[in-house]
Each structure stands twice: as C-alpha cells, then as structure tokens.
Amino acid sequence: EPEVTQTPSHQVTQMGQEVILRCVPISNHLYFYWYRQILGQKVEFLVSFYNNEISEKSEIFDDQFSVERPDGSNFTLKIRSTKLEDSAMYFCASNRLAGVTDTQYFGPGTRLTVL
C-alpha cells in the first residue's frame, strides 16, 4: 500500500541553524500539508500546498518557514533559523482529491530537536 515517507526520522540541530525536512507524498496525490506536534500537545496545522503554491498557512508559519516541491516527488519544509520552541514532531500529509472528505494520509514524522 502506498505511503507517505519522511526523512530524516530524527534531526538534531543547534539554535539558529537551518533545517530542511523532507517528505515524499503518495505518488498520485496533489495536495500537501505540514503539521507539527509539540511534545504533549495537539497536532497543529502549519501549511497546505497545491499547484506549486501555498493554499493556506497558520499563524505559526511565519517568515522563518518555507515549503517547496522541488521536483515531482519531494515536498520540503525549511526552517531558516531554528528556535528552541521549534522542537516538535513534524508530520507531512497528502491527499489526492480536492475537498475535505478526501482522506489525508500522514507520514511517520520527523522529530526535530533544537539545542
């Protein structure tokens, strides 16, 4: 069964460094998302992406964050200058069809630790 994959599974970085989290969505999916979960808290929406542009972003998704689909398979989240509070589990998700009723499939997540 096709699945969303994410690399790396765990990323440790120093505060102020740039990180790029990578995702490979399911191959025929067109709609992409990043969510994050700070330890012990709820899963929070960061950004959605369709047709090579951001569809919607949350207040969390400030100028330090960017997303890109550099080729036909990868979907990346870049944090330009990491802060301690960026430490979280980051989940990529994708779905095939427009509309809320089409299931979003989540990857296993990347645990980001900012020291």
Partner 1 sequence: DQQVKQNSPSLSVQEGRISILNCDYTNSMFDYFLWYKKYPAEGPTFLISISSIKDKNEDGRFTVFLNKSAKHLSLHIVPSQPGDSAVYFCAAAVNYGGATNKLIFGTGTLLAVQP
Whether the CA torsion 46, 99, 106, 8 is positive or negative: it is negative
Residue 66's nearest CA partner among 55, 75, 57, 79 is 79
Based on CB atoms, which residue is closest to partner 1, 18 or 27?
27
Residue 21's nearest CA partner among 29, 32, 30, 55 is 32
Based on CB atoms, which residue is closest to partner 1, 48 or 82?
48
Based on CB atoms, which residue is closest to partner 1, 18 or 102?
102
The answer to the question of residue 24 lying near partner 1 (CB under 8 A) is: no
The answer to the question of residue 7 lying near partner 1 (CB under 8 A) is: no
Closest contact distance (angstroms) between CB of 91 and partner 1 is 5
Distance CA(112)–CA(13), nearest Å, equals 8
**DSSP letters along 14-51, please?**
-TT--EEEEEE--TT--EEEEEEE-TTS-EEEEEEEET
Among 77, 79, 109, 114, indicate the residue that binds partner 1 (CB under 8 A): 109
Among 45, 65, 69, 74, indicate the residue that binds partner 1 (CB under 8 A): 45
* Binding footprint of partner 1 on the chain (CB under 8 A): 4, 31, 33, 35, 41-45, 48-51, 55-56, 58, 91, 93, 98-101, 103-109
